[in-house]
Amino acid sequence: TQLLEQSPQFLSIQEGENLTVYCNSSSVFSSLQWYRQEPGEGPVLLVTVVTGGEVKKLKRLTFQFGDARKDSSLHITAAQPGDTGLYLCAGLTYNQGGKLIFGQGTELSVKP
């Protein structure tokens, strides 16, 4: 069974702090996606990383794909209350067609 382990599961921080969320697996992925989900809504794609070692930035969010394409991280600088939500990583493996493997998610709460 292919698994994506996310850590931490829960994170409660103050506005302005920095944080990092990790997504790890023993499997190699052809690409990895990060989604953000707000209460009462479905997940929405933030970014897709494809190349080992790739770094992508989306305003205060920095995404990195591990060199071996087995892990990824999401770093948020100066977190804002609007960053509150569930962050999900999802990996696409070579032999699974269109099927994404989702991590369990990291529930982030940013307090003003």
Partner 1 sequence: DAGVIQSPRHEVTEMGQEVTLRCKPISGHDYLFWYRQTMMRGLELLIYFNNNVPIDDSGMPEDRFSAKMPNASFSTLKIQPSEPRDSAVYFCASSFEGGSEQYFGPGTRLTVT
Residue 21: CB minimum distance to partner 1, A: 14
Q: Which stretch binds partner 1 (CB under 8 A): 16-24, 26-34, 64-72, 73-81?
A: 26-34
* Gap between the Cα atoms of 6 and 14, Å rounded: 21
Q: Which stretch binds partner 1 (CB under 8 A): 12-20, 60-68, 74-82, 101-109?
A: 101-109
Residues counted in the chain: 112
3-state secondary structure of 65: strand
Q: Which stretch binds partner 1 (CB under 8 A): 11-19, 52-60, 76-84, 88-96?
A: 88-96
* Gap between the Cα atoms of 36 and 71, Å rounded: 18
Picking from 102, 108, 106, 111, the residue whose alpha carbon sits closest to that of residue 8 is 106
- Is residue 85 close enough to count as binding partner 1 by CB under 8 A? no
Q: Which is nearer to partner 1, 40 or 112 (CB)?
A: 40
Q: Which two tokens stand for residue 2?
A: 């292919």
Residue 78 DSSP code: S
Among 20, 48, 62, 84, binds partner 1 (CB under 8 A): 48
